[in-house]
Chains A and B, each alone.
Chain A
Amino acid sequence: MNEQAKQFKFVGTRPIRPDGVDKVTGRAMYGADLTLPGMLEGKVVRSPHAHARIKSIDTSKAEALNGVKSVVTAADMPEAESKPVAAGEAMINFRDLAENVIARHKVFYEGQTVAAVAATSNEIAERAAALIEVEYEVLPHVIDVLDAMKDDAPVLHDHIFTGGVTPKPEKPSNVANRVEFALGDIDAGFAAADIVIERKFTTEPVHQAYIEPHAVVADMGPDGKADVWCSSQGHFMVRSFCAGLLKIEMSKIKVSAAEIGGGFGGKTTVYLEPLAIMLSRKAGRPVRMVMSREEIFRASGPTSGAAMTIKIGATKDGRITAGDATLCLQAGAFPGSPVGPAAMTAFAPYDLENVRVVGFDVVSNRPKVVAYRAPGAPISEYAVESVVDELASELGLDPIEFRAKNGAKEGTQAAYGVKFGTIGMQETLEAAKATEHYKIPLGPNQGRGVATGFWFNIGGESCAGIRINEDGSVSLTEGSPDIGGSRASMAIMAAEVLGIDVAKIKPSVVDTDATGYHFVTGGSRVTFATGMAVVDASKAAIDELRARAAKIWDVDVDGVVWEDGHAKPASTNVGDFEPMSLAEIAAIANKTGGPISGHADINAKGAGPGFGTHICDVEVDPDTGFVTVLRYTAVQDVGRAIHPSYVEGQLQGGAAQGIGWALNEAYMYDEDGKLENAGFLDYRVPVASDLPMIDTILVEIPNPTHPFGVRGVGEVPIIPPLAAVNNAVAAATGVRFTALPLSPPAILAGTGAGD
């Protein structure tokens, strides 16, 4: 069954992606690009307060405005029950999801939705939104994670009692949950250490900052059936959340996946979609809603900011004896920060006997966090990798060798218990060490930093259909929204298995009526899991093709093999038949039993863990504190690169996002708990002139559970940059910084040059 040993014809090549021409000519249809006859434009009314009780909402003036066709408040929505659902990263409570979509009794952050309106034009909808009168009783708020944990902090939710502690608390708290992972005996571990370093770190929340705003068009008819078109990382997620929130049967909601202009985890939940359906239902007309960039910053994303303490001990000869971490992660207004994965990944790159990680999930008056590439891992691994680096330099050891000496290998038990199978941590370190980059001499005020990163990668539900058309071309259907070229990878894998030219295969991401449930495009799972479904569906189609050839030749199906896109007799004993091509069999399918297809509906298991090592060179201007990234190399074990260009692209894009996180990006609040930098001018993501070329090295240690050896690749590359940059800045300045972002004022304050 395993294809890994074979030589590949298409896997590993770089064909032009099937959706490419549409995307370079402006024809591709994204969320906001659809217009339907009679379509209305919807707008949202948002809370101006960080924390307030809603005393009343008066929509009468808005409703009276000419051109307004419907208004929706929480009163129009069914009450949601309290139950956990998977929302792209940690589990969240369905009732919280409902309140995040539209506030019911209280608002918990500035920007939270309180009402929505639909009108015949954007301009009228905006005027109507301004006419909706909401009376608030403003409550004390809390923004910072450590402040929110204090005993006298304003409590956001009366029903939250810290989970995971004994005895069960009697008072409600902003600390929603405590997690702990431990292995061995850390006290004994620290006792055996010659050197122990303990540091406190903070990181700020950062936004996924996909360039395409959230957008949806919803159309609900009088028969109660809804058609939804939207940009999301999972149209099945949109269907299931909308069905649950609006109490509509899933079969009555059809969601089509628009082309998606980036997500990075931020589009793994719903914001506008249920509102658009409700507005459309009340108005009896299609409704389009598009978020402004300001709304995106205030009310969607980001990922958590954190306060952390890391303590690591090592012997003189460079063996880590114990690691201890305490992680406090902001969840935003509702529980569900990625503190679980943050805790599990913190020390995962290392083979440690004694380790303990304690994590707290903390609510405060900020937008509810949502997944951002490898949720939680960049935060905790930044802190650990910074201390690991400091230890290496204190011990006078090469940072790569120090990591290799302590690095995870096959059979290593991670702190969260699980033993690793085949992994490529050591190989990425070796490859990094062997680069030219690592040997280039540095000048004054320059420094080099190294860091590693680990992410689990996931599998999950996926489906695929292969239909062999009468002319021998192939239609491939699946339901994983394609963000970064996954349709190209699907076509390559199908071509490889079927043995036909990749250009003959047309892959499509089809709507929720046309294929089975797919988990979201996230967790680096699509090429792995949906790819597995495509391989299985292709094999099922081959079985059918063989059966048809067997009928034509009048032999037993076991006597027919499939090679190079042809049915062939298994041996000369079977008979002397000319091989039949896929196209030849397809041409007479009507005579041999009808159309030929293959399908697979799976829940993929065995996603291979991913490791990466990055090298970063910086120059720090001693007068201004400005950090320039001079050189960057990202090395990663990718299992097997199906389309290497898009794999490289994942590494480069992830590295750029991580560099932005390290140097520029942060949410900034004023005293009233209002976001001060809700736009690209003040929330500065890296631009072309901020970055150097990002060199990539793809290490291929095939994942034994995938037919081609694929491991997820999209998440790992955002993990190492935070510490790689931090360690490079430390090397350049001689100062160990413990807070991100490393903005010029922060650098000057640290180096004392600003005094």
Chain B
Amino acid sequence: MAKQHITTTINGEEAEYLCEAQETLLDVLRDQVGLTGTKEGCSSGDCGACSVMLDGRLVCSCLVLGVEAEGKTVETIEGMADGEELHPLQQKFLEEAALQCGFCTPGVLVAAKALLDVNDDPTETEVRYWLAGNLCRCTGYDKIIRAVMDTAADLRGASA
């Protein structure tokens, strides 16, 4: 089958790739674009390791086709830090040891940032339900939830 030529914006930069009609955005990001920070844990939409933002919406990139990104903007974990300047969530995750193996971390961070973008003062329950699609087998979630809430508090403090 002929590959399709896709033009899109990934982490603020224009990007082009060729992809087969059935290829997922996850496979395209990892295999064609070379952005392996987005992880595959299940390829069925159940683990959230592949979370990215597509036109500002949080999606599982394993459930999106590569061709669907045509003309849209994609944000991945690789675009979260500003050069050497980590995003406050990334910094907080390090300080509070909110990762062990780190495999779920890119997806969790992308999802957590999406939460803080729409809710700067989430309750514990809100954070838990928002991240319910991001499986972590290592941490028991405790430190993840705390890190997200502490980051939110810091950001509110900074903007107050």
Contacts and interface: CB of A to CB of B under 8 A. Distances in A.
A and B, direct touch (CB closer than 8 Å): yes
A26 B145 contact: no
Contact of B104 (A211, A213, A293): A211
A23 B134 contact: no
Nearest to B131: A688
A179 interface: no
B142 A652 contact: yes
A262 B135 contact: no
A212 B86 contact: no
20 contacts: A16-B95, A24-B105, A26-B36, A26-B106, A33-B30, A211-B104, A259-B103, A260-B101, A262-B138, A293-B43, A484-B138, A645-B96, A646-B97, A649-B97, A652-B140, A656-B139, A679-B46, A680-B47, A688-B145, A691-B140
A506 to B, nearest CB: 16
Nearest to B143: A649
Nearest to B136: A211
B150 to A, nearest CB: 13
Interface of A: 14, 16-17, 19-21, 23-30, 32-33, 35, 123, 208-213, 259-262, 264, 290, 292-293, 483-485, 643, 645-646, 648-650, 652-657, 679-681, 685-691, 693-694
Contact of A657 (B30, B81, B86, B137): B137
A212 B43 CA distance: 12
B76 interface: yes
Given A26-B106, A32-B40, A261-B39, A688 B144 contact: yes
Interface in B92-118: 93-97, 99-106, 109
Contact of A262 (B36, B76, B94, B103): B103
A653 B138 contact: yes
Interface in B76-95: 76-78, 80-81, 86, 90, 93-95
Given A293-B42, A681-B46, A23 B129 contact: no
Contacts of A645: 96-97, 143
Nearest to B23: A123
Interface in B114-136: 124-125, 127-129, 131-136
Nearest to B37: A26
B59 interface: no
A656 B127 CA distance: 17
B47 A25 contact: no
Nearest to B96: A645
B47 A211 contact: yes
Give the 4 A-B CB pairs with smallest separation, nearest first.
A26-B37, A261-B103, A656-B140, A23-B102
Given A24-B99, A26-B78, A652 B143 contact: yes
B73 interface: no
A484 B78 contact: no
A14 to B, nearest CB: 7
B44 interface: yes
Interface string B47-59: 1010000000000
Contact of B137 (A26, A259, A646, A653): A653
Contacts of B135: 211, 680, 685, 687
Nearest to A261: B103
Given A649-B143, A653-B138, A485 B78 contact: no
Interface of B: 20, 30-31, 34-44, 46-47, 49, 76-78, 80-81, 86, 90, 93-97, 99-106, 109, 124-125, 127-129, 131-146
B18 to A, nearest CB: 13
Given A30-B39, A653-B140, A261 B102 contact: yes
Given A262-B103, A649-B139, A29 B133 contact: no
> Which of A21, A262, A646 has the most chain B CB within a 10 Å cutoff?
A262
B101 A484 contact: yes
B140 to A, nearest CB: 3
Where chain A touches its partner, the secondary structure class is: loop
Contacts of B124: 693
A23 B140 contact: no
B155 to A, nearest CB: 17
Contacts of A26: 35-38, 76-78, 80, 106
Contacts of B109: 24
Contact of B90 (A24, A35, A262): A24
A485 B97 contact: yes
Nearest to B77: A26
Contacts of A649: 97, 100, 138-140, 143
B101 A262 contact: yes
Contact of A24 (B36, B93, B100): B93
A27 B135 CA distance: 20
Contacts of B35: 26
B41 A293 contact: yes
A261 B101 contact: yes
B77 A688 contact: no
A21 B40 contact: no
B56 to A, nearest CB: 19
Given A211-B39, A645-B143, A688-B134, 13 more contacts: A26-B78, A26-B106, A211-B103, A261-B103, A293-B41, A646-B100, A649-B140, A657-B137, A687-B132, A688-B129, A689-B129, A690-B132, A691-B128
A23 B99 contact: yes
A212 B138 CA distance: 11
A30 B39 CA distance: 9
Contacts of B39: 30, 211-212, 261
Contacts of A484: 100-101, 138
> Which of B100, B125, B136, B138 has the most chain A CB within a 10 Å cutoff?
B138
Nearest to B95: A16
> Which of B38, B42, B77, B133 has the most chain A CB within a 10 Å cutoff?
B42
A483 B137 contact: no
Nearest to B133: A687
> Which of A33, A208, A652, A691 has the most chain B CB within a 10 Å cutoff?
A652
Given A261-B101, A649-B100, A680-B47, A211 B41 contact: yes
A684 B37 CA distance: 25
B103 A30 contact: yes
Contact of A17 (B94, B129, B141): B94
Nearest to A264: B137
Contacts of A685: 135, 137
A691 B141 contact: yes
A693 B142 contact: yes
B94 A21 contact: yes
B36 A29 contact: yes
A675 to B, nearest CB: 15
A17 B97 CA distance: 8
A686 B137 CA distance: 8
Contacts of A648: 97, 143
Contacts of B131: 687-689
Contact of B49 (A211, A485, A646, A681): A211
A327 B62 CA distance: 42
Contacts of A209: 137
A653 B99 CA distance: 11
A688 B37 contact: no
A25 B100 contact: no
Contacts of A264: 137
A483 B101 contact: yes
Contacts of B77: 25-26
A653 B39 CA distance: 20
A681 B44 contact: yes
Given A21-B94, A211-B103, A688 B128 contact: yes
